[in-house]
Structure 1
């Protein structure tokens, strides 16, 4: 891939994420239909997600990396490297994932100094955590430095508005996946179901959960609800497959054993992007029980694959994607009884799960990678059309103060 940016006559937009996984690549590729994209990764390494590196051959845009491991950089060096990358890109506008990471703050300050419009890409919502008034006051000053926003959905739009952004400058469609990848993969898996089940060691039928094994995913409550469901369903009970890995894996195995569920709860481990559609395709329903989830892209994946979805009301996607009794059921993640009952409901012989899955596919078709590109372009146009006023000095000062605080903390 050369450094030449295609798209004559289109705005040049630098789009910044921490590290590109397959989800980011598909979104940015779609965005090239609407703007001249320069993709910038803050870091070549990610200490949270174990996705394989997506090679540059998959890109329809130039792709640059600020640092091999940005978490290891001292703040002055990181600011210099971010600034150099943006100077090289020479964008008309910059889309930045979030406002809290030091790299995002460095990019925002670069935009403020050069009066280049910045678009915040955010899936933060009011319910994500306990909000403190003094922190929210700081965020309002930071958000005031952005010219527009691209958010995940309804709860995220309301939160950005609460932080002071004009609703007319906010678009949604940030958290999308390549629906075709999961739909086609699920169809292929179902066409070869018997051989795949044997090869992957998967039961029939089963509930599927795919996530990192960390506390907020609420997997211990899921196990308790599943045990209760099995008691109600008796011999017709489905199995449970937990795809993923993480620091709680040993405790989960112990809990599975403690509940006496070793024969019906399966842990196939972490699976790469290209493997996931098989697990969706062979499943009968999907569950995301998180107590806190900014969106929940796995719900998009499951819906694209044609599955009914059981989604915690604490997941950011629940409001926009889940319709009770139509494509699945929302539930209170703190109520084990309620979760067990929606499991029983979706597994009932009286429920048309195929119709639910098709209804979900209709809904998720509106949340495509094309939507990301199209709505980001509208946000870019809105930011470019807004008057270029001098950026808020207090906001710039606070952003720099947060960067310096990061340096003291990391040091």
Structure 2
């Protein structure tokens, strides 16, 4: 990926800046999809604040071809940069951009300040959000203050219906909210997956993500224990792909539950490794107690892998239909998880149907939906209004 020293030349195409803390592979997917869609009508600039961050260790940026890219603080971590320093950099480097679409949390002080600054100068600032009302307990007074602060944004691109409803609660007009934020390149995910046959009997249940509290992994392990006890010698393995502060505790728990010989802690991997692991899975298991979206569900859908998710997982609204393309379980109920595992592994014919149904959601999972939203913002007269409506309808009716 080649970075450019950004500047605006008089008479050139209008510029759309798409801003993140630090680029992940799926951020690049969205930027590239938007740039390809707007080619000849607008210039798309992918912007990351820093070269790294504490929460996620994304792999190095890959080769790209459609958009221009800029790192505001190369060689630094996001958390080490002060809010005022960040705000000054945003205001200076992006001042000539007609549109700034921000994937940095929209309630952060520096981003709120940037939105009001741009509004005062007649420039557009768009919130990109996967937050839902049910993510955590909400304080009404704090939410009322937040709704006032967010008036600097002109519109929003959200992940799905619950994210739309939350922003409407905070005062956004429904007409100013577009879907498609949490999407990725289905083609990239498929190209990364190895083209090798996997026997149905050899496919494990697979978790992908950080090993942290909100992922509800102790309950997943207990649910798996109950499934394995009932299935006996025919029980599938459980694969945990990822790393985090709870790994030691979870390994000890697996020993205590008597399932250590059936559970593999595969460790962290890159996006290609995730595609490879998912392509061999029987089902993705994501039973989080808090999960704004869950991009790994998009990856599973891209590969035709059913998902076992909790209602807390935002991606389920668009990408999982319980009993059809996967199963939705109660996150506090190990028995619910065990029954979903048993149902998924009940027969190869049943699994093939679940896989086929999961694959039918690839349209909703793909970064082309993000491009739809950006196009509607930048060029509404030629934007794909019918595809926007289709997204909302398919989320509602399944």
Do they superpose with TM above 0.5?
yes
Asked whether 1:77 is paired with 2:79, we answer no
CA contact (8 A) 1:83 1:106 kept: no
| 2:243 equivalent among 245, 250, 255 | 245
Q: Deviations over 1:97-143 (max 9, x none)?
A: 23123442343233133221111101111100000011101111122
Tell me the secondary structure at the aligned position of residue 261 of structure 2.
coil
| 2:60 equivalent among 53, 56, 76 | 53
How far apart are residue 64 of structure 1 and its match? 1.4
Asked whether 1:278 is paired with 2:276, we answer yes
| 2:43 equivalent among 14, 27, 36 | 36
Determine the C-alpha separation between the residues in 2 that align with 1:292 and 1:117.
31
Determine the C-alpha separation between the residues in 2 that align with 1:368 and 1:284.
22
| 1:100 equivalent among 98, 107, 112 | 107
Asked whether 1:86 is paired with 2:94, we answer yes
How far apart are residue 381 of structure 1 and its match? 4.8
* Residues paired across the two proteins, number: 369
Determine the C-alpha separation between the residues in 1 that align with 2:7 and 2:320.
42
CA contact (8 A) 1:288 1:311 kept: yes
How far apart are residue 310 of structure 1 and its match? 0.7
| 1:219 equivalent among 217, 220, 233 | 217
TM-score (norm 1): 0.85
How far apart are residue 161 of structure 1 and its match? 0.7
CA contact (8 A) 2:112 2:150 kept: no
Determine the C-alpha separation between the residues in 2 that align with 1:158 and 1:76.
31
Higher relative contact order (CA 8 A, sep 6+): 1
Specify whether residues 219 and 5 from structure 1 end up closer, same or farther in structure 2 by C-alpha distance, changes over 3 A only: farther
Asked whether 1:340 is paired with 2:338, we answer yes
Which moves more between the two structures, 158-167 or 78-87?
78-87
Determine the C-alpha separation between the residues in 1 that align with 2:291 and 2:178.
20
| 1:305 equivalent among 297, 303, 306 | 303
Determine the C-alpha separation between the residues in 2 that align with 1:326 and 1:10.
46
Unaligned runs of 5+ in 1: 195-202, 383-411
Unaligned runs of 5+ in 2: 381-398
CA contact (8 A) 1:205 1:284 kept: yes
In structure 1, the residue matched to 2:387 is none
Q: Deviations over 1:131-165 (max 9, x none)?
A: 00111011111222111110000100111111111
| 1:325 equivalent among 319, 323, 326 | 323
Determine the C-alpha separation between the residues in 2 that align with 1:82 and 1:181.
30
Specify whether residues 94 and 253 from structure 1 end up closer, same or farther in structure 2 by C-alpha distance, changes over 3 A only: same
Determine the C-alpha separation between the residues in 2 that align with 1:73 and 1:329.
42
In structure 1, the residue matched to 2:120 is 113
Determine the C-alpha separation between the residues in 2 that align with 1:243 and 1:38.
33
Specify whether residues 117 and 181 from structure 1 end up closer, same or farther in structure 2 by C-alpha distance, changes over 3 A only: same
Determine the C-alpha separation between the residues in 1 that align with 2:164 and 2:124.
19
TM-score (norm 2): 0.87
In structure 2, the residue matched to 1:205 is 203
